[in-house]
Amino acid sequence: MTSLSQPLTAHTWLRYPDAATYLGISERQARRLVADKKIGHTKLGLHTLFSPEQLDAYIESRTFTPEEQS
């Protein structure tokens, strides 16, 4: 996995390339998730931006944890 172009801070906004790297997917797939309204994002003018919290929420929503059997 490649490193992000900037270190993450509390107020970091990621664009498509860094968001895709963060999620381990292609930039095209990230754009498809936005188009399908499956991932949180913020539109500022013409820019689509992602916060690490939005990306973490998407990961959490897609994470399956099986129940423990007694």
pLDDT tens-digit profile of 1-26? 567 777 665 578 999 999 999 999 99
Paired with 42 in beta bridges are: 49
Dihedral angle sign, alpha carbons of residues 40, 52, 10, 17? negative
Q: What is the model's pTM? A: 0.77
pLDDT tens-digit profile of 56-65? 999 999 999 8
Residue 1 is predicted with a pLDDT of 57
Ordered by start, the domain boundaries in the chain are 16-61
- Given a contact cutoff of 8 angstroms between Cβ atoms, the answer to whether 14 and 5 are in contact is no
Lowest-pLDDT range, 4-8, 26-30, 47-51? 4-8
Cα–Cα distances in angstroms (integers) from residue 18 to residues 64, 67, 70, in the given order: 24, 33, 42
